[in-house]
Amino acid sequence: MSVEQWVFYVLAAIAVGGAAVTVFARDIVRAALGLIVALLMTAGVFVLLSAEVIGLVQLLVYGGAVAILILFALMITRAREVTYRLDGPQKPLALLAGATLAAAIGVAVVGTVFPTNTDHINPVGFVEMSTALFQTYAVPFEVASLVLLVALVGAIIIARQEERQ
Amino acid sequence: MMPVLGYWFGIAWLDAILRLAVIAGVMTVVVIFLTYAERKVIARVQQRLGPTRTGPAGLLQGVADALKLVLKEDLRPTTADRWVFELAPFMVFVPVFLTFVAVPFTRDLGVRFLSLGLFYIVAVSSLNIVGFIMAGWGSDNKYALLGGVRAAAQMISYEVPLVLTVLGVAMVASSLDIRVITERQDVVPYIVWQPLAFVVFIIAGLAEMNRTPFDIPVAESEVVGGPTVEYSGIRWSFFQLAEYSSLFVLSALGADLFLGGYIWPFGSNPPGWLQLILILVKTSFMILMIFWVRATFPRLRIDQLMSYCWKVLIPVTVAQLFFNGLVLVYRWPDILLLVFSGALLVGATAATAVAVRRAARRPRDAQAVRDRRLQYARGA
Amino acid sequence: MVADFDTIDININVGPQHPSTHGVFRMVLTVDGELVRDLDAVVGYLHRGAEKLLENQDYRQGIGIQDRTEYLAQFPAEQSYVMAAEKLGGFVVPERAEYVRVICVELNRIASHFMFMGAYGTDVGVFGTSFIYGFRERERVYRFFEELTGERMMYSYFRVGGLAWEVMDGFEEKARALLQELKRGINDINGLLTRNEIFIARTRHVGEISAERAIEYGLSGPVLRSTGVRWDVRKDEPYSVYDRFDFDVPVGEFGDCYDRYMVRLEEMRQAVRIVEQALDQMPKSGPIMPEKMPRMLRLPAGEVYVPVESARGEYGVYLVSRGGNHPWRCRVKSPCFTNLQALREMTVGEYVADSVVILGSIDLVLSEVDR
Amino acid sequence: MLGVLRSMLTTLSTTMRRPVTRQYPESHRPIPERERAFPLLLWDHGVDEPYCTGCQACERACPCKCMTVTMKDNPRQAEGTSKRRKIVDTFWIDYGRCMRCNICVEVCNFDAIAMNNTWTGIELSAYDRHDLVMDLDELLALSRAGGIVPWAEYVGEENQKLPPRAVQAARTLAGRGPA
Amino acid sequence: MSSLFANWVAVLFGSIIGTLLVAVALVGNRLLAPRDPGRMKGTSYECGMLPIGRAEGNIHVRYYLFAILFLLFDVEAAFLFPWAVVFRSIGAFAFWEMTLFLAILMGGLAYAWKKGVLRWS
C-alpha cells in the first residue's frame, strides 16, 4: 500500500470511531465530540483527495462553526446524561427508517461508476476553481446567501418565541 | 510551491518532522520567555521590578515555573467528565501548534509555505474553541461552564472580524500565500493601506486569545479562571502554552501581514540575518503593544463584547472589504485604500466613543430594570 | 418542550474564597444565563466578637480593638470611640490634638479610598495596575503614619482626651510633602480610569439605586452620596473642628457604580484640601492631652452615640457605661453592614460579571461588617 | 476613544518612573524611630539582670491577653547585689496574638518593657504559630546584646511617668540595628 | 510525491507531534508528580463551599443565536477566501456579485440587530 493509502485508512478508521461514539455515547456532549472528530477526519480525507479548499472549508465550517452550534444546542437542553429510555413503541419504525436509508446509500454506492484509475488525480487549481465558482456558478452562490439568511431568520423567530413563553 | 530541493535532506516528511521539532523547541523557549517578559513589562508599567530572583534578572523564572508545573499534582474533580476533561488540553493546544506550520518567519524559515496559508491558519485556529467548551463542560464546575461558554461565544464572534481583516489584506495582495503577501510590501507595508484592518486585527486577536480587555472567559475576578479553573499543574500549563503560543503566532502573523514582515523597509531582498532581525523586532513590537494593553485596560462585559463585535467591528470590516473591492476592481489609485480605511477607522472610533459617552450621560431605562427586578422578585 | 429552552436557574457560591469578595464575604447567586436572578448575602465569616471584647476592656484597650474592626480607615474608628468616651466623661480635647486628629483621619480617608480604587480597578478587570497605583500611594500614607504613630496599620494613637504622644519632628513639612505625592497619585488613578471608555461602560448605570431607596435602607457615605443625597456627617453634624474647614461634599447623579467611584475620587481631593487647611490652622505648639487626666479612666454612667464620617460612611460608636473602667455595652454602627443590605437590590437583574463590580463599589471591609 | 488613549498614556508615564520596589532582604526600608514592632524586655546592664520584676501590670493591661508573667523572689537581693526584691521568673509573649498597642510599655512601672524599633530582633516568620511564642530569654536577648533603642524615650514628656534612671539606662543602650 | 502531499504531510505530523508533546508532558507529570487524591480534593471548586448541584443547563439561548450568526459569517468567509484571490481577474462582475452576497448577509445581521438578538436581557 502506498503512504496515501495508509494515511487514508488511519483517518477513515478514526472517523468511523468518532461516528460510533456519536451513536453509542450516552453523554450527549461526548456524542457531539465524537461527531466533531469524524468531521475533522473527513477534512483530512478531502485533503488526501487533493481537494485542499474543501478540506479547509470543512475545518472552518464544521470544525469551527457547526461544532460550536451543536455543542451550544446540546448544552441548552441542559441534561448531562440521557436518563430516560431511548427506545419505545417507535422502535420498529426507526428500524424501518434506518434500513431504508442504508438501502438507499447502498444502492447509490453500488450504482455509482467510480473512475477506475485512482492512482492519479487531476486536482483542480485553486484559481480555476474560484473562477468557476464566481462565474459559472454565480447564481447558486447567491442562492447560498439566501439560504443562510432564511436559516438565520428561522432561528431567530424560534428562539424569540421560546423566550417569550 | 516550494521546490523539493529546498527540503532539508531532500525528503519532505523528514524535513517536516525536523522543522516541527525545531518549532516545538523554539515555541517552548519563546513561551517561557514571553511569560517572563510579560511579567517584567507589566511590572515596569506598575513601577515594580517583576521577577528578579531566579537567575540573572529573574530570567529563569519561566523555567522555574515550568518545572513547578511539571512537578505539581494533577487534580481532577471526581464528578468531572473524565475523557472530556482530560482531552481538552489536547484540543486547545494542538490547533495552536498547527498554526505554526504556515507562518513564515523569514523567506526560508518556516515549516511550510502554503499557497492557502492564510485560509489554513484561520481554519485551524478556529478549532481550539471546542477545547475551551470541552474544558468548561468537562470540569463540572459552574465557573468553568460559564467561562467555557463565554469563551466559545467570544471566540466565534471575533473570528469573523479577524477573518474579514486578513481578507482585506489578501484582497490587496491578491493572494492567500502569506509569503507572497509579505513580499508585496517591499515598498509600502499594508498597515498604511489598511489601518482599520490592522487595528481590528489586534482587537480581534486579543479577543481570540482571551486577553485583556477581552479576558471575560477567564476573568479572575468573576469566574476565577473560567474553563481552566479545575485544571492544575501540567494540564493547566497547556492552556497557558496555547495562549502564549498563539500570542506569538498572531504577532508574527500581524507583522507579516501588516508591517511588511521580514523585508520592509529594506526592499525585496535583505540578507537572511536581517530578515530574522526584522521579523523579530516587528513581532516584539506587536507583543509589547499587547502587553501594554493588558497592563492598562479594564475588562469588558460579555454583552458589551458581543455587541461591540457585531455592531461595530463586523459592519466596518465588511464596509472596508467593499471599499477595497471598489478601489481594486476599478483600478483607482492606491491612496484611496488608505482614505477609505482611515475614514472608517476614525468614524468607527468616534462613533463608539460618542455612543459610550451618550449612554453614560443618559439615564438608563430605569423602568426596564425595575420590571426585570420585579419579575424576578415575583418568580422567587 | 417550551420549557426546555429556558435556562434553569443555578445557584453559584461566590465566596467566601473568591478573589473579588474582598475578604470572606459570601454571596449565593441565583443565575439565569448571564443575569443575576437573586442574591443571598451571607456574612459572619469574620465575626470575632469585637463588641463583646470591648465590653471587657478598659477604654484605652478598646482603641486597639477599633483599629481592628475597621482596618482600612482606622483613625475614624478610633476617633468615634474616643469621642464617645470623651463625651461621656466630659473631657475637653486640646485644640492641637483635634487638628492632628483631623489630619490623621483625612489622610486615612485618602489611604482607604486609594485601596478602594485599586481593588475596584481589579474588580473591573485591570490587570493589577490600578491596584499597584493605589497601594503605592497608600503605602506613602502608611509610612507617614508609621513615623507618626509607630505602626503601619494598628495605630492606637488617639486616646481619650487627646493623643497618645506628640507628633514627630517635621510633622508639617512631611505632611505637606506627602500631600504633593498623593495629588500625583490621585492624578494617576484619574488618568487610568476616569475617562476610559471601557471603565465607563462597565460601571455607568450598573448597580443603580435611587435616592429614596438609599435613604430607606439607611445607606451612608459615598454609596449614599452617589445617589445625589448631600449627606455628610462632617458637614451636617459637625464634630471635632470640621466646621472650620472649607470643603465640598461631592455627590453623584445616578447612584451607580461610576458615581460611587467619582464621589470617592473627588472626596480624596477634598480630603487633601482639608489637610492643607488643617496644617495651616493648626497651633504650632500646645498640649495634646487635657491637664488632668486620671491614670485609670473611669467614666460616669450614661449612654452616648457618636457618629463620624468614616471612609465608608457613618461609623458610630454607641457606648453605655454603668460607671467603672470599661463600657457596659459598646455597639458599633458600621457603614458597610448597612450598605451591604442594598447589595441585593442593586445586583438583582444585572449581569453576573457586574455582581463583583457592584460589591466592589460598596467598598467592603469585612471585619467591620462582621465585627 | 480618547479616554482609552489617555489611560495608555498614564501607564506609559508610570513606566518611565523609577520602580518603587525595595528588594527586601538586601535592602531594608529605614525604620522610623517610633516604630513599635514587638515588645521586648530590657536588660539592666548596671546590675546584670532584667528590669522586669514580674509585677504582671502589663499582663493585666494587655488587650489581647498575649502575655503570661510569673515572678519569684530575687536571689540576688539576698546577696545584696540587687535592690529588686522580686524578679521575673517566666515571661511569655505570643507574638501571634500581640497587637502592638504599646499599652504594656505605658503601664510598666519599671520601664522594663519596650517596643523593638530595629530590623534585628526576633525572627517573626515561622512555620508553626507556636514558634511565635517567645520566652524570657528570647525577649531579653536583643537588649542584653545592646541592640535596642526603647520606644519610651520618644514618648511625650506628659505621658511618660518613668523613673529617670530607667530613661538613662535606655539611652546608654543606644546601639542601632542595621537600618 | 506531489508538492501537495509534501505540504500537508507537515500538517499531519504537526498534529501528531503536537499531541505527542502534550502526551509526553502528561506522562512526565505522572512519573514526577505526587499523587495523593482525597475526597475534598476531588470536589470541584466553588469558593471553598461544597458545590450546589452539578454544573449544567445554564446556557443562555442567546449564545445559540450567536453561534448561528457565526455559522452564517463563517460560510461567507469560506466563499470570501477564494473570491479575494480571483476577483480582480474576473473583474467588476465578481465584485458586485460578492457585494450582493454581503448585502444579503448584512441584511440578516441588521434583522438580528433589529430583533434584539445582539442585545441581552
Adjacency order of strands within the sheet including C35-42: C10-14, C26-32, C35-42
Q: What does DSSP assign to residue C13?
A: E
* Chains D and A share 3 or more Cβ pairs within 8 Å: no
**So what's the pLDDT on residue A134?**
85
Q: Is C215 exposed, middle or buried (0-12, 13-18, 19+ CB in 10 A)?
A: middle
Closest to C99 measured CA to CA, from C334, C251, C283 = C283
- B158-213 pLDDT, tens per residue? 888 998 999 989 988 888 888 888 888 888 888 888 899 999 999 999 888 888 78
D24: in domain: no
Residues C51, C56: Cα–Cα separation, whole Å: 9
**So what's the pLDDT on residue D162?**
41
Q: A89 falls in which pLDDT band (50, 70, 90)?
A: confident
**Is residue A13's pLDDT more than 90?**
yes
- The answer to whether the Cβ–Cβ distance between B42 and C258 falls below 8 Å is no
**So what's the pLDDT on residue B248?**
92
Instruction: Give the amino acid at C187.
Output: N
> What domains can be seen in chain E, in order of their start residue?
2-115 (1.20.58)
Residues A101, A106: Cα–Cα separation, whole Å: 8
- The answer to whether the Cβ–Cβ distance between A162 and C6 falls below 8 Å is yes
Residues D173, D152: Cα–Cα separation, whole Å: 13
User: What is the residue whose three cell numbers read 456524542?
Assistant: A31
Tell me which chain B residues have a C-beta less than 8 angstroms from the C-beta of E121: 303, 368, 372
D11: in domain: no
CATH number, domain with residue D116: 3.30.70.3270
Mean predicted lDDT score pLDDT of chain E: 82
Choose, out of E50, E52, E56, E58, the residue to mutate when testing the contact with C (most C CBs < 10 Å): E58
Residues B206, B212: Cα–Cα separation, whole Å: 7
Cα-Cα-Cα-Cα dihedral of B307, B309, B311, B315, to 10°?
-170
Q: Of E13, E29, E119, which is closest to B20 when you measure between CB atoms?
A: E13
Q: How crowded is the C-beta side of B130, counted as CA atoms within 13 Å?
A: 35
Q: Which alpha helices (DSSP H) does D17-172 contain, by range? A: 57-61, 75-79, 103-107, 136-144, 164-172
Tell me which chain D residues have a C-beta less than 8 angstroms from the C-beta of C196: 3-4, 6-7
B367-371, C120-124, E4-8: range with highest mean pLDDT: C120-124
Which residue, B27, B48, B71, sits at the end of a domain?
B71
Cell digits for B201? Answer: 486585527
Choose, out of B69, B174, B224, B337, the residue to mutate when testing the contact with E (most E CBs < 10 Å): B174
User: What is the residue whose three cell numbers read 508545573?
Assistant: B69
Cell digits for C156? Answer: 492606637
Residues A95, A110: Cα–Cα separation, whole Å: 22
Query: Which helix H or strand E contains C298, and what residues bound it?
Result: none
User: Do B271 and B237 sit in the same domain of this protein?
Assistant: yes
Which residue, B71, B92, B115, sits at the end of a domain?
B71
- The answer to whether the Cβ–Cβ distance between B42 and C353 falls below 8 Å is no
Q: Which structural domain range is residue D38 located in?
A: 33-149
**Residues shown for chain C:** 371
- Residue D115 near residue C150 (C-beta atoms within 8 A): yes
Cell digits for C358? Answer: 457592584
Q: Is E9 exposed, middle or buried (0-12, 13-18, 19+ CB in 10 A)?
A: buried
Q: A87 falls in which pLDDT band (50, 70, 90)?
A: low
**Is residue A1's pLDDT more than 80?**
no
Per cent of chain E over pLDDT 70 is: 88
Tell me which chain E residues have a C-beta less than 8 angstroms from the C-beta of A39: none
Closest to B129 measured CA to CA, from E70, E11, A44, E12 = E70
Please indicate whether residue A118 or residue C363 has the higher confidence score (pLDDT): C363
Q: Please count the structural domains in chain D.
A: 1
Q: Of A78, A159, A165, which is closest to C8 when you measure between CB atoms?
A: A78
DSSP bridge pairs for D114: D40
Angle, vertex CA A99, rays to CA A93 and CA A103, nearest 5: 145
- The answer to whether the Cβ–Cβ distance between D4 and B292 falls below 8 Å is no
Residues D175, A69: Cα–Cα separation, whole Å: 75
Closest to C79 measured CA to CA, from C219, C222, C242, C290 = C242
Q: What does DSSP assign to residue A58?
A: I
Please indicate whether residue B270 or residue B3 has the higher confidence score (pLDDT): B270
User: Largest Cα–Cα distance in chain A?
Assistant: 60
Closest to B235 measured CA to CA, from E33, E26, E27 = E26
Phi, psi for D44 (deg, rounded to 5): -85, 100
- The answer to whether the Cβ–Cβ distance between C192 and D101 falls below 8 Å is no
Residues B282, A58: Cα–Cα separation, whole Å: 33
Angle, vertex CA D131, rays to CA D130 and CA D134, nearest 5: 100
Report helix, strand or coil for E51. Answer: coil
User: What is the residue whose three cell numbers read 488632668?
Assistant: C292
Please indicate whether residue E59 or residue E98 has the higher confidence score (pLDDT): E98
Residues C188, D171: Cα–Cα separation, whole Å: 45
Cα B56 to its chain centre, rounded Å, is 30
Q: Of E64, E90, E100, which is closest to A73 when you measure between CB atoms?
A: E64
**Residues shown for chain E:** 121
- What is the residue-wise DSSP string for A121-145? --PPPHHHHHHHHHHTTHHHHHHHH
Tell me which chain D residues have a C-beta less than 8 angstroms from the C-beta of C146: 32, 34-35
CB atoms within 10 A of CB B25: 10
User: Do B155 and B31 sit in the same domain of this protein?
Assistant: no
User: Minimum mean pLDDT among B126-130, D107-111, E17-21: which range?
Assistant: D107-111
User: Minimum mean pLDDT among B7-21, B141-155, C221-235, E92-106: which range?
Assistant: B7-21
Q: Please count the structural domains in chain B.
A: 2
Residues B296, B214: Cα–Cα separation, whole Å: 12
Residues B299, B156: Cα–Cα separation, whole Å: 18
D124: in domain: yes
Q: Which alpha helices (DSSP H) does D17-92 contain, by range? A: 57-61, 75-79
- The answer to whether the Cβ–Cβ distance between B70 and E29 falls below 8 Å is yes
Q: What is the ipTM of this complex?
A: 0.84
Domain boundaries, chain C: 49-370
- What is the residue-wise DSSP string for B47-104? T-----SSSGGGTTHHHHHHHHHHHS-----TTS-HHHHHHHHHHHHHHHHHHGGG--
CB atoms within 10 A of CB C104: 28
Residues C82, C66: Cα–Cα separation, whole Å: 10
Work out the minimum CA distance from B77 to partner chain E, whole angstroms.
Answer: 4
Closest to C357 measured CA to CA, from C159, C131, C124, C126 = C124
User: Do B220 and B290 sit in the same domain of this protein?
Assistant: yes
Report helix, strand or coil for B106. Answer: coil
Which residue, B20, B40, B71, sits at the end of a domain?
B71
Q: What does DSSP assign to residue D129?
A: G
pLDDT < 50 stretches in chain C: 1-5
The region, left, alpha or beta by phi > 0 then psi within -120 to 50, assigned to residue D48 is left
- Residue C141 near residue C182 (C-beta atoms within 8 A): yes
**So what's the pLDDT on residue C148?**
85
Q: Is B86 on the interface with A (CB under 8 A)?
A: no
- Residue B240 near residue B280 (C-beta atoms within 8 A): no
Cα C239 to its chain centre, rounded Å, is 17
Residues E120, C32: Cα–Cα separation, whole Å: 12
- Residue C364 near residue C336 (C-beta atoms within 8 A): yes
Q: What does DSSP assign to residue A2?
A: -
Cell digits for C196? Answer: 476610559
Residues D108, D159: Cα–Cα separation, whole Å: 12
pLDDT < 70 stretches in chain D: 1, 121-123, 147-179
Q: Of E7, E15, E88, which is closest to B94 when you measure between CB atoms?
A: E15
Q: E2 falls in which pLDDT band (50, 70, 90)?
A: low
**So what's the pLDDT on residue B366?**
62
Q: How far is CA B47 from CA A7, B286, C163, in A?
A: 55, 22, 36
- The answer to whether the Cβ–Cβ distance between B300 and C202 falls below 8 Å is yes
Residues D12, B295: Cα–Cα separation, whole Å: 10
Class of the C49-370 domain? mainly alpha
Closest to D156 measured CA to CA, from C89, C150, C154, C326 = C150
Q: Of E18, E51, E121, which is closest to B93 when you measure between CB atoms?
A: E18
Q: Which residues of A7-31 are buried (b: 16+ CB within 10 A; e: fewer)?
A: bbeebeeebeebbebbeebebbbbb
Work out the minimum CA distance from D9 to partner chain B, whole angstroms.
Answer: 9
Q: Of C12, C16, C28, which is closest to E48 when you measure between CB atoms?
A: C16
Instruction: Give the amino acid at B240.
Output: Q
**So what's the pLDDT on residue C4?**
45
User: Do B20 and B1 sit in the same domain of this protein?
Assistant: yes
Tell me which chain A residues have a C-beta less than 8 angstroms from the C-beta of C6: 162
- Residue C307 near residue C85 (C-beta atoms within 8 A): no
- The answer to whether the Cβ–Cβ distance between A72 and B123 falls below 8 Å is no
Closest to C363 measured CA to CA, from C190, C120, C131 = C120
User: Largest Cα–Cα distance in chain E?
Assistant: 68
- Residue D88 near residue D108 (C-beta atoms within 8 A): no
Angle, vertex CA A60, rays to CA A55 and CA A66, nearest 5: 115
The region, left, alpha or beta by phi > 0 then psi within -120 to 50, assigned to residue B224 is left
User: Do B25 and B79 sit in the same domain of this protein?
Assistant: no
Q: Which structural domain range is residue B286 located in?
A: 74-379
Report helix, strand or coil for C288. Answer: coil
Residues D24, D8: Cα–Cα separation, whole Å: 30
**Is residue A107's pLDDT more than 90?**
yes
Cell digits for B194? Answer: 489598511
Cβ-Cβ contacts under 8 Å for C348 (sequence gap 6 or more)? B373, B376, B377, C36, C37, C38, C39
- The answer to whether the Cβ–Cβ distance between C16 and E47 falls below 8 Å is yes
**So what's the pLDDT on residue B273?**
85
Residues C44, C47: Cα–Cα separation, whole Å: 5
